[in-house]
Amino acid sequence: MEKKGLEELASIMDGLGHPLRLRIIAILAMNGPLYLSDIAKRLGVSRALAKVHLVKLQKAGLVKSRVQLVEGEAKALRYYELVDFNLTINPRIIMDLVGGEDEQ
């Protein structure tokens, strides 16, 4: 991972900080883009709960979405897809991000 600011790193880690969100990442990694109802069904949760977790992942920059019109119908579906990421974190990286502030 490129060095990110502390706020961005905290947002990414917060995005990864729930088992349902980790399951969403796995589902999208295995299946590619899916729409909200399909993700909720695969998780065994309501659409509302799936949406809460997808929004959190999207704010963290781990998932992106796009709206696609359904041909021949007056409706649109929002598809979610995984953003490729590679996260490496250790105490040294955190110290570098903090800027070497002495915390005594």
Over residues 33-92, the pLDDT tens digits come to 999 999 999 999 999 999 999 999 999 999 999 998 888 888 888 999 999 999 989 999
27 domain residue, yes or no: yes
41 domain residue, yes or no: yes
pLDDT band at 2 (very low <50, low <70, confident <90, very high): very low
What pLDDT is recorded for position 97?
A: 85
What pLDDT is recorded for position 3?
A: 44
18 domain residue, yes or no: yes
50 domain residue, yes or no: yes
Domain ranges, residue 30: 6-84
97 domain residue, yes or no: no
91 domain residue, yes or no: no
32 domain residue, yes or no: yes
**Residue 79 maps to which CATH number?**
1.10.10.10
Total domains in the fold of the chain: 1
11 domain residue, yes or no: yes
Distance separating alpha carbons of residues 45 and 43, to the nearest angstrom? 5
pLDDT band at 4 (very low <50, low <70, confident <90, very high): low
